[in-house]
Amino acid sequence: MESTQAVKQRFEIIGNDASLNRAIEKSIRVAPTDISVLVTGESGVGKESLPKIIHALSHRKHAKYIAVNCGAIPEGTIDSELFGHEKGAFTGANQARDGYFKEADGGTIFLDEVGELPLTTQVRLLRVLETGEFIKVGSSKVQKSNVRIVAATNVNMIEAIKENKFREDLYYRLNTVEIHLSPLRERRGDIHLLFRKFASDFALKYKMPTIRLSEKAIKALENCSWPGNIRQLKNVTEQISVLETEREVDEATLLHYLPKSSNLPSVISEEKKGKSDFSNEREILYKVLFDMKNDLNDLKKLTLELMEKENDETFKEDNINLIKKVYGETATEKEFSDESHEEQLEILQFPNQKQPKETEPKLEDPYDYAEDIEEEETLSLQDKEVELIKKSLDRHHGKRKPAADELGISERTLYRKIKQYDL
């Protein structure tokens, strides 16, 4: 059994953090077995390195190792990619094709972003894990495959199970052994080591002297939160190596390349995200529109109350909760003083409402003139969404990927909406 340090050197893994060493030790110990492994951690922490270690140290090392990014394969074709298909199974299937499970027979399959798998594919995958059997798309013949599955995800699987996005039985099948990789912000001591490694690599690549950091710049580098983890650190190192003419980088120069903290409402951690929160800009816009509609209805109600009250002295006291809702909880007595209240009454007052002339015919319903105020306009958000989707698809000649990028949603979400609205 190889030592942790030998494995680091062999696979070019940089870092001395205790959590990283534990993850590598787990990989070394589990490699000789056929146990399914689930690698967890944030995006950009280097989860793809551990499956390579597990495969290289196992008895399957001479067989194929296939890495599959489940999030990059469209929902309609992922079954064909994984399990293969027969000729004529669907439009465009001009010949039979073996899937990854057939190609990797006797080897290892790495399923990256396994949390993005559709539920129908999860059922097929569960059967492969339990019995080693699968069926090609468009076939009725059961085939066998002897593969080891190592999966990885940056999704909170427990939350995904609660939201019925991932099967619980499949999770426990994949999670026989879980290996967690800590984010870079929890491995401060490894940040400068990684920076030096990347700076050296880019110096060789671009044939230029290596970038060096001053002491203050090193502290600034280590104090950065690095939300993109190692991938983001590598990109920043490459930018500095290419753009800076001075090979000695000070703190002021480095800060221009480091990510700025943001308070945008869309940047919400998974732990703090509640059921009422919205995860994309379009849903936030819908929420704002609904809130505006509710405020408008409250204002209509206040207006009708003002017109209905013959004696408005108790108006504020009777409607204090509604006033606070419309004008805010911090509304002071000054904001709703008698003078300002009288001004509002004067603005909203209809002429000749309280003292109608004798010559005017008496209305059977004294509030007929307020009928337009009582009517509520409906906000057809669904129709607007359908219209936006149609226009985007037309602009991109029916191609879903650029249309989804323009709409700010994933291609899989766009595919579901096209099916939902029968577009």
Identify the pLDDT of residue 272. Answer: 45
Q: Are residues 92 and 142 in the same domain?
A: yes
Residue 273 lies in a domain: no
Q: Are residues 373 and 326 in the same domain?
A: yes
Q: Are residues 129 and 177 in the same domain?
A: yes
Apex 26 CA angle, 24 and 28, nearest 5: 70
Does the pLDDT of residue 119 top 50, yes or no? yes
Residue 199 lies in a domain: yes
Q: Are residues 166 and 23 in the same domain?
A: yes
Checking DSSP bridges between strand 65-69 and strand 108-112, what pairing results, if any?
parallel
| Residue 90 CB neighbour total at 10 angstroms | 13
At 60-115, the pLDDT tens digits run 999 999 999 999 999 889 999 999 999 988 888 889 999 999 999 999 999 999 99
Identify the pLDDT of residue 233. Answer: 95
Residue 271 lies in a domain: no
299-312: average pLDDT: 68
| Residue 37 CB neighbour total at 10 angstroms | 25
399-405: average pLDDT: 81
Identify the pLDDT of residue 285. Answer: 78
Which of the 8 DSSP states describes residue 66?
E
Identify the pLDDT of residue 348. Answer: 47
Place 375 in a pLDDT band, splitting at 50, 70 and 90: very low
Residue 274 lies in a domain: no
302-310: average pLDDT: 67
Q: Are residues 15 and 132 in the same domain?
A: yes
Q: Are residues 38 and 147 in the same domain?
A: yes
Show Cβ contacts of residue 316 under 8 Å, excluding neighbours closer than 6 positions.
Answer: 323, 336, 341
Identify the pLDDT of residue 282. Answer: 67
* Among candidate residues 230, 263, 296, the one where a domain is terminated: 263
Q: Are residues 320 and 392 in the same domain?
A: yes
Longest dimension (CA), the chain: 106
Does the pLDDT of residue 360 top 70, yes or no? no
At 193-240, the pLDDT tens digits run 999 999 999 999 999 999 999 999 999 999 999 999 999 999 999 999
* Among candidate residues 155, 182, 209, the one where a domain is terminated: 182
Contact (Cβ atoms closer than 8 angstroms) between residue 19 and residue 182: yes
CB-based burial, 10-27: b 16+ in 10 Å, e otherwise: eeebebebeebeebbebb
Q: Are residues 247 and 355 in the same domain?
A: no
Q: What's the domain count of the chain?
A: 3
Q: Are residues 197 and 290 in the same domain?
A: no
Q: What percent of the chain has pLDDT over 90?
A: 57
Q: Identify the domain containing residue 293 by its residue range.
A: 281-420
Assign residue 220 the CATH number of its domain. 1.10.8.60
Residue 313 lies in a domain: yes
Contact (Cβ atoms closer than 8 angstroms) between residue 82 and residue 40: no
Residue 268 lies in a domain: no
Identify the pLDDT of residue 356. Answer: 47
At 155-193, the pLDDT tens digits run 999 999 999 999 999 999 999 999 999 999 999 999 999
Identify the pLDDT of residue 400. Answer: 82
Identify the pLDDT of residue 156. Answer: 93
Residue 8 lies in a domain: yes
Please give the Cα distance from 47 to 179 (Å, whole number).
9
111-125: average pLDDT: 94
Q: Are residues 176 and 196 in the same domain?
A: no
Q: What percent of the chain has pLDDT over 70?
A: 76
Assign residue 12 the CATH number of its domain. 3.40.50.300
Residue 391 lies in a domain: yes
* Among candidate residues 219, 235, 263, the one where a domain is terminated: 263
Contact (Cβ atoms closer than 8 angstroms) between residue 83 and residue 126: no
Contact (Cβ atoms closer than 8 angstroms) between residue 84 and residue 76: no
Place 385 in a pLDDT band, splitting at 50, 70 and 90: confident
At 236-268, the pLDDT tens digits run 999 999 999 999 999 999 999 998 754 444 444
Q: Are residues 245 and 388 in the same domain?
A: no
Q: Are residues 166 and 88 in the same domain?
A: yes
At 6-54, the pLDDT tens digits run 999 999 999 999 999 999 999 999 999 999 999 999 999 999 999 999 9
Please give the Cα distance from 85 to 139 (Å, whole number).
7
Q: Which residue has the tokens 């929160």?
A: 277
